[in-house]
């Protein structure tokens, strides 16, 4: 499930001394690496090695900015730098501000990706017909949390779901993920992606779509 990158990115990624730089688009206003003080993203495919998960990513950010509006949309970007060589910017998360505070121009922000919206009860539109195949259901669920379905998501059209009886969007996503032996994430572009566990096990290391190692208890997992 790797993201498409340029040859320069690939070269820099494998070059000693290369470092990452981050930038943030906050409601259309660009803040480059010089604005950031620190940030972290808490995310993963699962808390324990398992299937049937729908993971929410959390962004904690400190940066100098003119303003961080209430409920601002924050788009995170990353590039690689090695001396004077810099790669293209790649999207690495779309987040929605939950809490924010400011002191002397320094903003502290807590934000979550679109999966946070999956906590709400799913009330399908009246024109939807059940039983519904899981691909159609995933399209509808993605729309319900304000995003779209990543085209790399492969769903078996023979699998169906019934009309939801007081289930949340996350409940339905987890059921669909379990049926396909995988987990849902929201990608760097902000799209809903089903990641089959088998696709991770085919590599030597468990990695995210950006090549970041997936760890458990701080230990990198080899398979």
Whether the CB-CB separation of 75 and 41 falls below 8 Å is answered with no
For the segment 154-210, what is each residue's pLDDT rounded down to a tens digit? 999 899 999 998 899 999 999 999 999 999 999 999 999 999 887 654 444 444 444
Please name the residue that has the structure tokens 């009330």.
Answer: 123
Mean pLDDT to the nearest integer, 37-42: 95
Please give the average per-residue pLDDT across 50-61, as a whole number. 92
Tell me whether residue 223 is in a domain. Answer: no
pLDDT at 44 over 80: no
Residue 214 in domain: no
- pLDDT exceeds cutoff 50 at 218: no
Distance of CA 195 to the CA centre of its chain: 12
Q: How many domains does the chain have?
A: 2
pLDDT in tens, 109-153: 999 999 999 999 999 988 999 999 999 999 999 999 999 999 999
Asked if residue 17 and residue 106 are part of one domain, the reply reads yes
Specify whether 54 is located in the same domain as 137. Answer: no
CATH number for the domain that contains residue 126: 3.55.50.10
* Residues 108 and 131 grouped into a single domain: no
Residue 53 lies in a domain: yes
Q: How big is the chain by its Cα radius of gyration, in Å?
A: 19
177 and 83 together in one domain: no
The answer to the question of residue 204 being in a domain is no
* pLDDT of 217 above 50: no
pLDDT band at 43 (very low <50, low <70, confident <90, very high): confident
- State the pLDDT confidence band at 15, using cuts at 50, 70 and 90: very high
Exposed e or buried b per residue across 6-39, where buried means at least 16 C-beta atoms within 10 angstroms of its C-beta: eeebeebeeeeebeebbbbbbeeeebeeebbeee
Q: List helix spans (H) across the chain.
A: 7-13, 134-144, 169-179, 197-201
Residue 122 DSSP label: P
Residue 128 contacts residue 138 (beta carbons within 8 Å):
no
- Whether pLDDT at 97 is above 70: yes
Q: Which residues contact 62 (CB under 8 A, 6 or more apart)?
A: 36, 37, 38, 39, 106, 107, 108, 109
Q: How many CB atoms lie within 10 A of CB 139?
A: 16
Question: Does some domain include residue 182?
Answer: yes
Which of 57, 81, 116 is at the close of a domain?
116
Mean pLDDT of the region 78-102: 96
* Residue 201 placed within a domain: no
46 plus 93 within the same structural domain: yes
Q: Do both 91 and 137 map to the same domain? A: no
Residue 200 lies in a domain: no
Residues 158 and 132 in one domain: yes
Distance between CA atoms of 32 and 45, rounded to whole angstroms?
28
Residue 215: pLDDT over 70: no
Query: 15 lies in which domain range?
Result: 7-116
Residue 209 lies in a domain: no
């Amino acid at each position: 499930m790797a993201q498409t990158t340029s040859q320069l990115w690939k070269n820099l990624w494998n070059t000693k001394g290369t470092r990452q730089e981050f930038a943030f688009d906050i409601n259309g206003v660009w803040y480059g690496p010089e604005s950031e003080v620190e940030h972290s993203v808490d995310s993963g495919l699962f808390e324990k090695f398992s299937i049937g998960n729908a993971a929410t990513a959390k962004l904690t950010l400190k940066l100098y900015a003119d303003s961080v509006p209430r409920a601002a949309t924050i788009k995170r970007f990353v590039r690689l730098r090695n001396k004077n060589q810099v790669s293209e910017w790649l999207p690495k998360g779309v987040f929605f501000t939950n809490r924010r505070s400011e002191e002397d121009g320094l903003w502290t922000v807590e934000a979550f990706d679109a999966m946070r919206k999956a906590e709400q009860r799913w009330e399908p539109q009246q024109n939807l017909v059940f039983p519904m195949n899981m691909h159609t259901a995933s399209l509808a669920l993605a729309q319900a949390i304000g995003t779209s379905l990543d085209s790399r998501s492969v769903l078996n059209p023979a699998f169906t779901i019934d009309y939801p009886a007081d289930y949340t969007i996350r409940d339905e996503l987890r059921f669909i993920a379990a049926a396909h032996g995988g987990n849902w994430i929201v990608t760097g572009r902000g799209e809903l992606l089903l990641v089959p566990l088998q696709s991770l096990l085919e590599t030597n290391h468990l990695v995210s779509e950006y090549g970041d190692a997936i760890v458990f208890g701080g230990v990198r997992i080899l398979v």
